[in-house]
Structure 1
Amino acid sequence: MSSTVFDSFLYREMFSTAPMREIFSDESFVARMTETETALARAQAKVGIVPHDAARIITDSVRPGALDHDRLRADTENVGYPVLPLVGQLAEQCGEAGGHLHWGATTQDIMDTATMLQCRDGLDLVAASLDRVREALRRLAAEHADTVTAGRTHLQHALPVTFGFRAAVWVSALDRHAERLAQARERDLMVQFGGAAGTLASLGTGPEGLAVRAALATELGLRDPEITWHVARDGLNEIVALLAAIGGSLGKIGWDVMMMCSSEFGELAEPFVPGRGASSTMPQKRNPISSELVVAAAKLLRDRASTMLDAMMQDFERATGPWHLEWATIPEAFQLAAASLHQTEFLLGGLEVDVDRMRSNTALTGGLIVAEAVMMAVAPALGRQRAHEVVYDACSQAIEHGRDLATELRRHPDLLAELGGDRIDELCDPSNYLGSAHAMTSGVVNG
């Protein structure tokens, strides 16, 4: 029986992906905890704390697939954590060698390290999907580097831009996120091994404890931290915050696409799939479902980032409750990020761009979109402030009397005398006032 959008047979493909669900499944988490326990035995054997034969038997004997799940679930509910019940069953599988399992470790060591292994695999999926989205956006930006469209501020026409420029702005944020992902992987994917209070006291006062931690990090391919991080949760917080930031940037794309798909804009349409986005009562509907899901994921990810900030405030050397917040938040954040990237990749893969509608929409305000171009052209002669006043008056008259800007400009003697009719027509062409849009777009596409 399912009860959330992440495991719902109705909604799970809209709020998650199968590969990410697999990484953060119960079976995967148990397997990662088991992997950590066997790696710990091998690391301790290398340092001379656990017999090599015991470490070998432990590694060869444990079988996560043979665990009694009903027993593990019941014992976890009773204990409050899954590690003690897990170690009990694994020890039974290992016979006498099982007495060397979990040597000097504490529950949080195993669970945190298992979570980090899951995060590592999850970040692999996120990075690969992000790369595909970035490549799709680069193609879109290159294809439409010269496609003139209305730049909008406060949802009103501002100045002309190109659709390629808009797509390049989208991808520029994702490029920076890709850099952050690489940095976060190196900084945050840390092994956890500190023992009951983080001091590794159970392994003595010599170098053995730190040597085991370093060997465990090597075994698992994680970073060996400078000190135990049981209550220093900045690493996991950064990972979730980055997922939320990626979701926010994707949400911005989804929001723009959704707006441009509206009937009044009519500039974009999501890929056509029979029945997708259909209404139960309105046959004409083709709703931007992927964009809507991306925006929803961005909002949900924001809440997960907020929860992780809450979870950072942990008391003394082991927390009384904030740690538990992570158990729900981290898997959900990864699933939402994966779904958002998947939906974005889908919508970009077949996005329909109406170039003619984009251009015709620039004329909706009768040329007012290039008012700044006229102002800047006459500013050298009239001064900027006087130029602003004259063009502002021309715009006001055009709006009031329903005339286009070029016609109204010709009615102003100062402007007509300074510019001439041909120059006014040239200035009122949106394609002539794009500034460095092409150069910046090319810089992103080819960067």
Structure 2
Amino acid sequence: MSTTVYDSFLFRDMFGTPAMREVFSDSAYVRRLIDTETALARAQAKVGIIPAEAAEDITRKADFDSLDLERLRAETEIVGYPVLPLVKQIADQCGDAGHYLHWGATTQDIMDNAVMLQCKQGVALLAAQLDRVRDALRRLAEEHADTVTAGRTHLQHALPVTFGYRCAVWLSALDRHAERLEQARARALMVQFGGAAGTLASLGDGPEGLLARAALAEELGLADPAITWHVTRDGLVELVSLFASVGGSLGKIAWDVMMMCSSEYGELAEPFVPGRGASSTMPQKRNPISSELMFAAAKLLRDKSSTMLDATMQDFERATGPWHLEWATVPEAFLLLSSSLHQAEFMLSGLEVRTDRMRSNTLLTGGLIVAEAVMMDVAPVLGRNQAHEVVYEACRAAIETGTTLEAELLTHDDLVRHLGAARIKELCDPARYLGSARAMTRDVVGRR
């Protein structure tokens, strides 16, 4: 019976994806342990540490399907780690070649490499998901580059913007995250092979140890670091911290979308699927479920990042516990971000954009959203300070009487004489005061 949302029959696809769960499943992890052991044998054979025939036998005979998994589980609980119990079973499978299995390695070497291989697969999945979300945002930004909507600061109308501009702002952050993910992939995914204290002393004082590590890195498709990293966990911390940052950017999108989906705004709706977001008591409800899950994932990812920072503080040449924090935290971080990206792709790809409602909402304050535009145009005529006073008084009167900014400005004879009624009407159109919003939107959309 499952006990967490990550493996729950009910909730698992709301807090992860099937593809990412498979990457971090028990069976996949044990297979990656075996992959590491066989790759180590091949690497050591290449540099002459063990016989080539032994490496061939180990690679051919090490078999996940022949393992006694219940025995492996029970012995892992006793030992505290799965590698020793696994090596015993694999060595038996390999016969005489089993004497060369796990040569010069320590438990953490094998476990860290297995995690690196999982991370390598997981990052590839996340990168592809992130690209699809970026594509969905790019389409929205391009399509709505001219769709005027209310820009809001402190939840109040500020100045007009376009919905495309807002989408491009969201997209710009994810574009930077995609770049960061590629950089982290190259920097953080490192091979681990150091032996008992990280010095490769079990392989002697010659070059064989470092040559074997380089060959292992090549076998596994991981970077070969300058020095053993088994107590400097910054690579994994970087990945999980980056995931928290990406999750936060997705959470910002979710928060904006949820607000714009509210009945009072009515500017957006998540894709319609019969029954999705429904209430058991209120038939009219259509809750923004994807955005809610993205928002929750952002908060949970922040917690994972904090835990990983704790795990990075390890003592001397083998930690006395912080390592264990990673076993729970790393898989959950991958699951959470994969879920958030999945929800984002679904939501943004089918987002209902209600352009008429956006336009009408910009007029809710009777044109006050363009007060700055009017002031800046009037300033050369009346002077900056007097222009501010005139527009300020017009805004105050419009608020108190329930009229519009345009109507109040038209009562100012000097203003009408200098500008004319037509110019005042033009200045009060939100679409006329968008600054460089369109240009910036198209710049972001054009970048790949």
The aligned amino acid for 1:61 is K
Aligned equivalent of 1:296: 296
Q: Does residue 138 in structure 1 map to residue 141 in structure 2?
A: no
Q: Which residue of 2 aligns with 1:60?
A: 60
Q: What are the equivalent positions in structure 2 for 1:425-436 lying under 5 Å apart?
A: 425-436=425-436
User: How do 1:144-223 and structure 2 match up within 5 A?
Assistant: 144-223=144-223
Matched residues in 2 for 1:386 and 1:2: separation?
A: 69
Letter of the aligned partner of 2:64 in structure 1? P
Q: 1:384 & 1:69 partners in 2: Cα distance? A: 79
SS at match of 2:159: strand
Shift of residue 350 of structure 1? 1.2
In the alignment, structure 1 residue 278 sits paired with structure 2 residue 274: no
Q: Deviations over 1:87-135 (max 9, x none)?
A: 1111111111111111111111111111010001001110111111111
Q: Give yes or no for the alignment of 1:401 onto 2:401.
A: yes
In the alignment, residue 63 of structure 1 is paired with which amino acid? Answer: D
Query: Cα offset for 1:414?
Result: 4.2
Q: 1:396 to 1:89 in 2, by over 3 A?
A: same
**Paired residue type of 1:57:** D
Aligned to 1:253: 253
Structure 1 residue runs of 5 or longer lacking an equivalent are: none
Which residue of 2 is the match for residue 84 of structure 1? 84
The yes-or-no answer on 1:363 pairing with 2:360 is no
Q: For residue 74 of structure 2, what is the aligned residue in structure 1?
A: 74
Q: CA deviation at 1:378?
A: 1.5
- C-alpha spacing 1:61/1:427, structure 2 compared with 1 (3 Å): same
The amino acid of 1:144's aligned partner reads H
Q: What residue number does 1:410 align with?
A: 410
TM-score, normalised by the number of residues in structure 1:
0.99
| 2:244 aligned residue | 244
CA distance in 2, matches of 1:347, 1:147: 19
* CA–CA separation in structure 2 for the residues paired with 1:156 and 1:281: 32
Partner of 1:439: 439
Offset at residue 444 of structure 1 (A): 1.0
* CA shift digits 1:232-257 (9 cap, x unpaired): 11111111111111111111111111
**1:383 Cα deviation (Å)?**
3.4
Aligned-partner Cα distance in 2 for 1:95–1:196: 25
SS at structure 2 position matched to 1:191: coil
Alignment-derived partner of residue 372 in structure 2: 372
Equivalent runs, 1:317-328 vs 2, <5 Å: 317-328=317-328
Structure 2 residue runs without a partner (length 5+): none
Q: Give the aligned residue type for 1:114.
A: A
Match of 1:384 in 2: 384
Measured against aligned partners, the alpha-carbon deviations of 1:213-272 in whole angstroms (never above 9, x if no partner) come to: 000000011000010001111111111111111111111111111111100000111111
For 1:333-387, what per-residue CA distance to the aligned partner results, in whole angstroms no more than 9, with x for missing partners? Answer: 0000000000011111211111100000000001000001011112223333332
Which amino acid is 2:266 matched to?
G
Which whole-Å deviations, capped at 9, do the CAs of 1:377-405 have from their partners, x for residues lacking one? 12223333332232222211211121111
Give the whole-Å Cα distance in 2 for the aligned partners of 1:253 and 1:144.
16
Question: Per the alignment, do residues 396 and 46 of structure 1 end up closer, same or farther by CA in structure 2, a change over 3 Å counting?
Answer: same
Q: C-alpha distance in 2, partners of 1:197/1:386?
A: 76
Q: Distance in 2 between matches of 1:189 and 1:282?
A: 49
Distance 1:148 1:91 in 2: 68
Separation (CA, whole Å) in 2 of partners of 1:52 and 1:446: 53
Aligned residue number for residue 129 of structure 2: 129
Number of matched pairs: 447
Letter in 2 for 1:90: I
Distance 2:299 2:418 in 1: 52
Amino acid at match of 2:75: D
What is the rounded CA distance, in whole Å, between the counterparts of 2:306 and 2:208 in structure 1?
Answer: 39
- Aligned-partner residue type, residue 136 of structure 2: A
1:334 matched to 2:327? The reply is no
Secondary structure of 1:150's partner? strand
Q: What is aligned with 1:50?
A: 50
Secondary structure of the residue aligned to 2:150 is strand
1-structure distance, mates of 2:122, 2:418: 63
Distance in 1 (CA, whole Å) between partners of 2:121 and 2:26 is 15
Q: Secondary structure at the match of 1:160?
A: strand
More moved, 208-217 vs 397-406: 397-406
**Hey, what does 1:109 align to over in structure 2?**
109
What residue in structure 2 maps to residue 352 of structure 1? 352
1:22 aligns with 22
Q: Distance in 1 between matches of 2:317 and 2:417?
A: 79
Q: CA offsets, 1:293-331, max 9 Å, x none?
A: 010011111110111111111111111111111000000
**Which residue identity does 1:410 align to in structure 2?**
L
- Local SS of the residue matching 2:198: coil
- In 2, Cα distance between equivalents of 1:149 and 1:106: 60
Mapped to 2, the partners of 1:326 and 1:168 lie a distance apart of: 35
Query: Residue 420 of structure 1 aligns with which residue?
Result: 420
Q: Does the residue aligned with 1:332 lie in a helix, a strand or coil?
A: helix
- Secondary structure of 1:161's aligned partner: strand
